């Protein structure tokens, strides 16, 4: 395995607009959009999408780097040039032991203690394995990792992950790559209410910018998008659309939206209305 060269200290976060960016493990992010790096039609398409999105972080799988020295070095140089912090992930791991080993290798290779923790329970849905996820999270948090666990919207699982030491949660919107958006909005709202002060990122299943805006309006702090951008006919344009959507969603939430109701409320008062 070829060790990637260290890039030195990461640049300071850029100034925020009125919406601001979320805070993960004490670091203020520049955006509420995180971007995956898999599945793009070309390295150039990935780079162009990242420039358009200006994401808070980009995820990268260790397996990409481990494919070979020359390919790994080339990909490392590409992601370094994207101008965003790296969030290595344990994609494709089906056991806690495999995920822990992959995370340890990623920290050595990428020089960061941030890790997106995935422990997959089913190959067909790519649903998280809650038991393996908690086990791996407990081990990695004890080793000093800043863990971003890919989970479901289950509040009991969320509580166990927080007890294990996680300070950020990443509930799925829908199965990875499904493009369904927020498949269980009631469950997601309940999760958000249960842990109002915990940073949460909607991870997986988003297909449209409107899905991202809805997640931010619901009170989530950020979204992580990969397939919806990578497989769009125009990845850069879709990335830009998602960037604007999360900004709109965050601003809308901060502005204090009116409550939903089942009856009409006139925008023009009836008092003083002329009668013939």
User: Could you tell me if residue 145 is inside a domain?
Assistant: yes
User: Could you tell me if residue 132 is inside a domain?
Assistant: yes
| pLDDT tens figures, 25-45 | 999 999 999 999 999 999 999
Task: Determine the angle formed by the axes of helices 209-217 and 235-255, rounding to 10 degrees.
Answer: 20
Q: Which domain holds residue 125?
A: 26-253
Q: How many domains does the chain have?
A: 1
User: Could you tell me if residue 77 is inside a domain?
Assistant: yes
User: Could you tell me if residue 210 is inside a domain?
Assistant: yes
| pLDDT tens figures, 54-109 | 999 999 987 644 544 445 667 777 887 788 899 999 999 999 999 999 999 999 98
User: Could you tell me if residue 264 is inside a domain?
Assistant: no
26 is an annotated ligand-binding site residue = no
Return the biggest CA–CA distance within the chain.
86
Structure tokens at 3: 């060790």
72 is an annotated ligand-binding site residue = no
Q: In this predicted model, which residue has the larger pLDDT, 194 or 1?
A: 194
User: Could you tell me if residue 9 is inside a domain?
Assistant: no
Closest of 270, 246, 248 to residue 22, by C-alpha: 246
**Torsion-angle region of 68 (φ positive above 0: left; ψ -120 to 50: alpha; else: beta):** left
User: Could you tell me if residue 36 is inside a domain?
Assistant: yes
226 is an annotated ligand-binding site residue = yes
Task: Determine the angle formed by the axes of helices 69-80 and 43-53, rounding to 10 degrees.
Answer: 20
227 is an annotated ligand-binding site residue = yes
Q: Please state the pTM of the whole predicted model.
A: 0.85
268 is an annotated ligand-binding site residue = no
Active site residues: 116
DSSP assignment of 197-233: TS-BEEES---SHHHHHHHHHTT-SEEEESHHHHTSS
Percentage with pLDDT > 70 across the chain? 86
Average pLDDT of the chain, as a whole number: 87
Q: Is the pLDDT of residue 179 over 60?
A: yes
In three-state secondary structure terms, 17 is coil
> Distance (Å, rounded) from C-alpha 8 to C-alpha 78?
16
Report the CATH number that the domain containing residue 208 is assigned in CATH: 3.20.20.70
User: Could you tell me if residue 273 is inside a domain?
Assistant: no
């Amino acid at each position: 395995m070829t060790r990637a060269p260290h890039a030195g200290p990461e640049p300071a976060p850029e100034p925020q607009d009125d919406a601001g960016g979320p805070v993960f493990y004490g670091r203020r992010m520049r955006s509420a959009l995180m971007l995956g790096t898999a599945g793009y039609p070309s390295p150039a398409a990935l780079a162009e999408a990242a420039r358009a999105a200006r994401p808070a972080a980009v995820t990268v799988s260790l397996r990409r780097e481990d494919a070979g020295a020359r390919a790994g070095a080339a990909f490392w140089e590409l992601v370094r040039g994207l101008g965003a912090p790296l969030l290595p992930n344990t994609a494709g791991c089906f056991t806690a032991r495999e995920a822990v080993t992959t995370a340890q290798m990623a920290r050595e290779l990428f020089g960061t203690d941030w890790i997106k923790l995935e422990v997959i329970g089913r190959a067909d849905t790519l649903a998280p394995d809650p038991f393996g996820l908690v086990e791996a999270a407990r081990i990695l948090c004890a080793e000093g990792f800043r863990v971003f666990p890919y989970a479901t919207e289950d509040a009991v699982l969320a509580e166990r992950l927080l007890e294990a030491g996680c300070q950020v949660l990443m509930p799925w919107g829908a199965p990875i790559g499904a493009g369904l958006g927020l498949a269980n909005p009631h469950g997601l709202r309940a999760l958000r209410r249960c842990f109002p002060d915990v940073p949460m990122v909607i991870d997986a299943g988003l297909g449209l910018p409107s899905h991202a805006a809805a997640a931010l309006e619901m009170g989530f702090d950020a979204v992580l998008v990969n397939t919806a951008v990578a497989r769009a006919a125009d990845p850069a344009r879709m990335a830009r659309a998602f960037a604007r959507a999360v900004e709109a969603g965050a601003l809308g939430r901060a502005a204090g939206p009116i409550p939903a109701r089942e009856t009409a409320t006139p925008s023009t008062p009836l008092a003083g209305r002329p009668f013939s």
